[in-house]
Amino acid sequence: MAFVSTTSVLFILFISISGKSIPNSYIENRINLIEREVDMQLGSELVLNDDEKLANEILMHWKQKEIEESFRNPQYFNFSKHYFDYKNDIPKSKVYQIIRGMPKGAVLHVHSSLMLSADRLLNLTYENNLYMCKNEIGDLQFRFSEDIPKWPCHTSWVLLSDLRSLGDATKFDESLKNYFTLFSGSSRGCDKIDINTIWRKFEKISNVISQLIIYRPVTEKFFYEALNEFYNDNIQYIEIRSGLKSLYELNGTVHDKLYMPRLYRDVAERFKRDHPDFVGVKLIVTRHRLKTDEEIRKTINLARQVKQEMPSFLAGFDLVGQEDLGRSLSDILPLLNEAKNDLKYYFHGGETNWYGTSTDENLFDAVLLGSKRIGHAYGLIKHPSLLMAVKQYDIALEVNVVSNAVLGLVHDVRNHPLATYLALGLPVVLSSDDPGVWGADPLSHDFYITFMGVASKRADLRLLKQLAINSIKYSTLDIKNKEALYSVFHTKWDVFIKQVLTLSTNL
């Protein structure tokens, strides 16, 4: 089967449906209109080479097959259900298997402490000298220590290894794992609870994990592991968001806040040395948006110091936490306005369903403060002036589909505004936010669900490639490193295309 362009497919479709009876002028107008739309779509500018065209046919064969089955049997269509209800079905999909093997470029919106899956985190609880404290309401505290920690604990500190050996270790580990993830096998309850409750659970998990990983030796292992998981999902470069935490040693020594970025940088360097086809990591320093001006100012100053000491490691600054409940950007404006010449901004903006609220207006401030990219930008579709501005000023939108579904913004992902962003050809990059917390792949699930559930049924390999290219294009790498990343990516891409071609016999 020779490759035919989308337009000619449309044309053929027409003729076969309608024979000669549709006037030529109508056909022309129709093709013209659809073509203009297709030309706008993200990925439409890419021209595929012959091998890519063949690979595209294979990919689209499976895509059309899966979608047509769902179209005919919407009761089995997964993407209109909760992510937790279909997550385990994803690996069966041929399209997913192809995407899994695809080099995806960079991940630009991910919170470092929430990168790692619950299973890997569980492994870290096997480290020696880990004490645990469980209070009356079941909240956990962790502390590595030579002796019983002196930290306050409502009940008592117990060595985790002792607890584990007391009874059924498997059971113990299962229950421990629940503290590291929102995923419990199904959506039971999850799709009924309100956004604040989901976020409370989410922040609790985040808090538990963070206690486990601020012990310096574990930080190193954790971060290396996390990079490895991402690397194995065919990701070549990462910009992590992270707060600056004080790491500590077994003897209780506490490091200053600049120690952590140094350690992250060193681990990333080591990972790069071990994996020459991995291009690296940069850091976006974050602070919780509920903090006071003074606390935020402190972090901004720390970020300035990180920049001075490791200019090539620091990407910029952002504020995190549930946007609806946190302070709005305009509330912190003087502070942010003051630092905007020193730090690049990558603000979360419009991660909300509330139209016309202060949260929603964060989008305006993100743009006006010169944010290089906007995190989520879920509410952007309701703001024509900003849609225009992000296109005009080429401000990338970091879209995280699975995150938005799990954190209660959208139920049926076909209603995600990303569909419109893709149709308008806006500068989108796909990312995964906190894949560890919901047990998603580092990036493949987000790509797959976007490709099958959000994008047009006709969107093809060009969209996928463009999304990967965008993640490089809108990264904060300098030109030299960007070129290095492109070169790694293209090499991997060619290998990937060859791999897909071997699947052709299964057509």
Partner 1 sequence: MRAVIFILFFYSVYASNIDEYFDKRYRILKSESRTSLGGNVTLNDKEAAVNICLMHYKFKEVDYWFDNPRYFNCSRHYFTYKQYIKTSKVYRIIQDMPKGAALHVHDMGLLGPHYLLNITYQDNLYVCFDNNLHLLFANAPPKSPCDGKWQLMNKARNSSNNITKFDADLRNHFTLFVKNPDTIYPSIRETWRAFMKFFITVQPMLSYRPIWEQYFYDALKRFKEDNIMYLEVRSILPNLYELDGTVYDPLVTAKTYKKVIKNFMKDHRDFLGAKLIYAPPRKVDRVKLEEYLELAKRIKQDMSDTFAGFDLVGQEDLGSPLIEFVPQLLESASELNYFFHAGETDWYGTLTDENLVDAVLLGAKRLGHAYALPKHPQVLNEVIKKDIGLEVNVISNAVLSLVRDIRNHPLSAFLAHGLPVVLSSDDPGVWEADPLSEDFYIAFVAVASRLSDLRLLKQLAINSLKYSALDSISKVDALRKFNYKWNEFIDNFDCSKYQN
Q: Where does this chain bind partner 1 (CB under 8 A)?
A: 14, 17-18, 21-23, 26, 29-30, 33-34, 36-37, 40, 71, 73-75, 77, 80, 193-197, 324, 330, 333-334, 337, 340, 353-357, 361, 364-365, 367-368, 370, 381-385, 387-389, 392-393, 409-412, 414-415, 417, 419-420, 423-424, 454-459
Closest to 423 in 3D by CA, of 393, 453, 463: 463
Q: Least distance to partner 1 from the beta carbon of 455, Å?
A: 7
Asked about 37 being catalytic, the answer comes back as no
How many Cα atoms are found within 13 Å in the side-chain-facing hemisphere of 13?
9
Q: How many CB atoms lie within 10 A of CB 339?
A: 18
Residue closer to partner 1 by CB (options 270, 414) is 414
Q: Least distance to partner 1 from the beta carbon of 405, Å?
A: 11
Q: Least distance to partner 1 from the beta carbon of 90, Å?
A: 19
Residue closer to partner 1 by CB (options 296, 454) is 454
Catalytic one of 225, 239, 323, 351: 351
Distance in angstroms (rounded) separating the CA atoms of residues 328 and 224: 34
Residue closer to partner 1 by CB (options 131, 421) is 421
DSSP code of 257? T
Residue closer to partner 1 by CB (options 29, 301) is 29
Distance in angstroms (rounded) separating the CA atoms of residues 425 and 383: 16
- Burial track 118-152 (b if 16+ CB lie within 10 A, e otherwise): bebbbebbeeebbbbbbeeeeebbbbbbeeebeee
Residue closer to partner 1 by CB (options 119, 412) is 412
159, two tokens: 């060595």
Distance in angstroms (rounded) separating the CA atoms of residues 440 and 87: 8
Residue closer to partner 1 by CB (options 148, 388) is 388
**Residue 419 to residues 42, 90, 468, Cα–Cα distance (Å):** 10, 20, 17
Q: Least distance to partner 1 from the beta carbon of 458, Å?
A: 4
Q: Least distance to partner 1 from the beta carbon of 122, Å?
A: 32
Distance in angstroms (rounded) separating the CA atoms of residues 363 and 376: 10
- Amino acid type, 71: F
Catalytic one of 82, 109, 111, 376: 376
CB-based burial of residue 211 (10 Å sphere; 0-12 exposed, 13-18 middle, 19+ buried)? Answer: middle
Asked about 351 being catalytic, the answer comes back as yes
- Which DSSP string do the residues of 161-191 spell out, in sequence order? HHHHHHS-HHHHHHHHHGGG-S--SS-TTTT
Residue closer to partner 1 by CB (options 272, 382) is 382
Q: Give residue for tokens 């976007």.
A: 450
Q: Least distance to partner 1 from the beta carbon of 321, Å?
A: 16
Residues 6 or more apart whose CB falls under 8 angstroms from that of 323 comprise 289, 348, 349, 350, 351, 352, 359, 362
Q: Least distance to partner 1 from the beta carbon of 79, Å?
A: 9
Q: 140-144 and 130-134 as β-strands: parallel, antiparallel, unpaired?
A: antiparallel
Residue closer to partner 1 by CB (options 65, 457) is 457
Q: Least distance to partner 1 from the beta carbon of 423, Å?
A: 5
Q: Give residue for tokens 């990264």.
A: 475
Q: What is the set of active-site residues? A: 351, 376
